[in-house]
Structure 1
Amino acid sequence: MIIKNDEHEWFPSIEEYTPGLSVEDWLDLLNDPEVFDENSLTVIKAFYDIGGQATCKELSIKYGKDPGFYSMISKKLAKRIHKKTNCPLINDDLKENAEWWTILYVGKEADKQQEGVYIWKLRDELKEALYIQASSAPKAWLLAWNPNNYDWESVDDQYNYYTMLKKVQNGDKYTEAWRCHSTKVKSGDRIFIIRLGVNPKGIVATGYAYSDSYEKNGTRLVDITITDTKDYKSEKIISQEQLKTLFPEQQWSPQASGISIKPDAAQWLIDNWNKTDEQPIEIISPSNSEFLKYFSPLVQALKELGGSAARKEAHEKVIELMGITDEELSVTYEKTGASRVINQIDFARNDLAREGIISNGTKGVWALTELGMIIDMTMELAGLIHMKWVKINAAKRKGEPIPVIDLSQYYKKQKDHKYTKNDFLKEVFITESDYDKLRSLVIRKKNVILQGAPGVGKTFSAKRLAYSIIGEKNENRICMVQFHQNYSYEDFIMGYRPNDQGGFELQSGIFYNFCIRCKENPDKPYFFIIDEINRGNLSKIFGELLMLIETDKRGERHKLNLVYGGTSFYIPENLHIIGMMNTADRSLAMIDYALRRRFSFYTMKPAFENADNNGFGSYTADIDCKLYHSVISKIIGLNNDIRIDTTLGKGFEIGHSYFSPEDISVINDEWVRNVVEYEIIPLIEEYWFDNDKKLDEWSKALYQIIGEKYDS
């Protein structure tokens, strides 16, 4: 039965407006993923879990995310509901900006004691539907068996462990009453029995409750039916240690039998219960093998270095990522004097190479394989890999059969998503015809520089342009670097660097290594992206290869010998170079002719006035913040002034990226004020450092629009 809101306090009252959606309607909508997407469910269930009513500020404090996230997602959800159901909308005369949220909520002003300004309360029918949905979802429970407390293996024949095993393995059901602390277990709920106290510890049986929990002779019990089991003496079980690693927030050593299992952990147990018949594999504890903590940073380091690096460079990047101190680096082994940290990184590399995540190719170069570039290296997977090779090597030493251990089911990959022209146009504010021109330019010339004012999205666009030509988000085929004034040929191509023995060794650079990777897959396009390309000395950095980047100088027929080592080298035809250049950087001289001749230049412009369907206007249409739109209008005027200023010009205009956060829900008055005061005004102070009149005019105008006082 629906309990009605106290109508005299909340807006709108039933007389003023109702969307006319029944509990059944809401249940249908909740089960429709096109209406209730992941973000929508997060927001609505946050309201439900907190008691059905809250300010967005209260939700932000309790569940995280900016308050604007909850209002923005609610608005978008309400629009989808209206489109799906054609439900009526409230009369706009009753309350300003109430058109959408009133489909989902009723509201009122918050008390002074509350965090936030306005309280939203779930509509009664929606709240009832959420209650039904939550009540009807089967729960999962963890029942405990500790052999130290209950000798299940030795009780009378009818109810002992071996009787259970035999019955279940013969396809029969086994029923028994089991201790259960919780009063909330219901008939039909899923149960898992975990063996505790004595090794091996882990899940040994699963089934269902066939009664609600009940009390008998002072003990709370539940009747269970065991439908599947594992003989822990001869079969692999899902270990307690593995569960602790995968789901650390779940209790896996319960003091009492019968605790609830969190939904994500329960689903994993259901999905993986029958995937445990392979060679037994334990999770190795990080405390027992110190070097396991280096697996993930090493993979990440190589990804950030473009997929491959010399051993010493890889060491340095791992040390940087992990924040390892000089004091930690100075700890050595007594016998050899070798650094313990460096040794542990090398151990990690050896295991990763055995598993096929790092290549065993070029001597002195550590390179990620295709698998290595897409895998998500976790501590759990590190333990699995190490234990796999411990077992294999032990079998080899003993002359025993080599165990076959397939870890592919444990790989969590960073999925490569398809990425098309349409995806590009949804994210980058240029017209379709401009995209076609730019794409054609990259494919034909192979070397293109995206130039433009600050904030026009050069870096953002470069990567997505590469994705759109590749056809998917594939980081393995993209490498990105940033040039600076000290960047050298030795960093980029090849050079001698200090080694651990106090001498020098010849090491290849990031561009050289990326070219090697391109050559391994000549039919696929690869992209080398250079940020701040005009900050480096191109002739110095590319050296003798500057000529080879030209379109008609690509391929093996144009190979030449490198300065170091005399190695012959060429730039593959499937490599494309995209550079980015800030046209407002007055600290740099004009780029030299050698660069201009070898690259095409594409100018990116601010998109504030782009009215295309996929343009900035479409992006801002759903932003419910008056200050944001007022500031955008003011920025358009500011850009007009910058454009006609003879000391500046269109290369100094302010770009749209300043006002295009990845998460649109963060946009509110406070966010806009921060962007204007701490990003835009400092920029124009730099532009008009020698024009006080113009600086005062625009600083005053910007401070005024955000409601702040300007002190000249």
Structure 2
Amino acid sequence: MINKNSLAAVIAAYKQNFSTHWENEKYKWEAVQHFQDHWDINASDFAEMFTKATDKTNNLLASVNNYPRRMIQLYAAADEEATRAMFINLYDESKHFAERVEKFQSDAEAMRVKYDQGTWRQHFQTLNSISTYLWLRYPDKYYIYKYSECRAVAKVLDSDFIPKKSASSRNLVGEFHLYNEICEQLKKDKELVQMLQSVLTDRCYPDKALKTLMMDLGFYISRFYTKKSTEDHAEWFPMDYSPNITTEEWLALLADKRVFNTKSLKIMKRIKDCGGMATCKQLSEKYGNNSNYYNSGSSALAKRVAETTECPLMTSHNDNAKWWPILYVGKHADKDMAGNYMWKLRDELSKALDQFDLSEIPLYEEEPQAKISQGKEKQGYWWLNANPKIWRFSDIDIGETQRYTLYNENGNKRRIFQNFLDAKAGDLIIGYESYPVKQVVALAKVLEESDGEYLYFEKTEGLVTPIDYATLKNCPELEKMEYFQNPQGSLFKLTKEEYDFIEDIIREENPITPKENMETYSKDQFLEEVYMTEERYETLISLLKHKKNLILQGAPGVGKTFTAKRLAYAMMGLKDDSRIELIQFHQNYSYEDFMMGYKPKEEGFQLQYGIFYKFCQKAANMPDQPFFFIIDEINRGNMSKIFGELLMLIEKDYRGTKATLAYNGMPFTVPKNLYLIGMMNTADRSLAMIDYALRRRFSFFEIEPGFHSAGFQSYQSALDHDTFNILIERIKELNQEIAADSSLGPGFRIGHSYFCGQAECTDEWLKEVVEYDILPMLHEYWFDEPDKLQRWENILRGVFNDER
């Protein structure tokens, strides 16, 4: 049992700090989802699969003096099948999990003894690491066990169970029951559940059972909550880590220009001027430069210090967070402060700065205009040639940070080494791939100047239509371009004129959609326009989100295309047609139209990109926004011929997975933020059933005539037209007979859209609908039943002959 009042206080504090806490801890949810996406116990290469599945776990399976993940990789290299068997047994849910954990440990020790070459002193398969494997595989059932965290949770919540040293099985079982008890209370806190759901992305495991949330709460209790009432000095983090660098050693480092460059000394002087502690925001506002200048500059400096001194590093899941503790201790800033997190110089570094001459280091930045006039801060422009043997632009997501080494695999400086040193944060990059396509494929920008080892940049746009090398090479305006003069190397200077010229060519093929004030669109508007019940709307949304691929099927006139577009609007919350693509399949539609293929040009054939390929690239450029590809008459095309390898890539579980395309040899992926909506007419007898391979990748939703919906009834009432009312009653009766007909069925009913969209309701318009839409369809339905057809002709025409 736990103290529920104590738990309530913990949850309140956790919710108060959730937004800042989440940014550091969301990697846990991402690690689980990544594992779920890549784990395959029967993989032909177990070691490769294990490495891929666990490569997002960071400090969970690798920390200072603790290397469980690395040992599994070594075991798999020594005996793949024995290692596989360890995990098969661990994940056998028919056995008690404590027994499985103990077996895993004993098997790991046996492997260590058998294959040790004198270097494997431990197997590192502790309760912590093994419970991590269980949590990754079954995140809706297990938690990661960590003695210190479990003990802190138990004490704070006055639990009957307190873990004890050297009581492994008991601790494991005890934590399981303790955390389950707490988890049940978390599920009752609707606000907390909503907070979690609001920040989860497609990269995060949904965590419906809240097990990972519970585990994170345990981490919060042990790391932050238990320290909140201690003295101020104890609030600084981390208190259990030191780089072990003395004041004298810091003085020597300060004098080493390879470690403390001018930028680093500026940061140090400004923090000292603030009393030895400040947030990046405070430094930015007081002395100039943006917050990232201080954040990234401190991380880069710390890396150089670590490389020079080989000091111990702090264990951290976040690459940045393992560096700054070399220089500082930190804590969350007070609410009335500018910035979120405060750094304080380590005592030894602060004392060294007191003794070091910083008089020549400027305290304040010059005004930007002054810098420009002096030629010090001109915008830089670069041509970056990706080496496909190492990386491709297509492997980088929009906004993802990529680093490029200043030295090749042999340790030699890259060609035109000075270019890497000259690149500055904010410089713009043309992204080029020299193999296999020889095309400009992306735009990027420099995030951070080189730290002596890497240059950091991020991809800002993937080109929907890449630009061929030959197109640029034949332009006289670019004949003096550094890359065209000598293409040996990676990073090449561009003049502003050269960059602008290339960008103009890019924009001719890749125009930027102008931002407009778009009309909002809500669920209520959908229900008003589409004539569907709220329950069916919620089902429709759920199916599309869950499967990402949906086919709307139904009789003619039920508004499938209209529904598809408004479904997209409702999910976007806006009427944004720039994120919707609508096409129609037909018998001659091909893969070359859809994805890519060679088309005749004046000088032979040229590879052309299809509409789906371009739309996927467009969606990938805005990963946080949903995009909708709508296919009318989807079953009229040859599915296998049109989709090709996309049959795999459109599956939800394979979204984001890259496959090499046959035409250009480049990797391609269907982004996770793209939704496919197809429409299929169930009353068209000429169409074969949809391809089974495609069918199992879609959810199918029957769009029914909406005559009985509240929306249609409201529309009908507003028309207030007697003939309309009578005709609709006859159509309802007709639909009942069609649905009961064994040769037809519900899929052949008459849809409501035939009777919508007219500004004014008149008898003339209604007659046209009957004579030229409804009756021709009935002739096709009952061509072999003339008596039934005649009866319904009389009934429908008779609506207009009633004496009223």
Larger relative contact order (Cα-Cα within 8 Å, sequence gap ≥ 6): 1
Same fold per superposition (TM over 0.5) = no
Structure 1 length normalisation: TM-score?
0.42
Structure 2 length normalisation: TM-score?
0.37
Structure with greater helix percent? 2
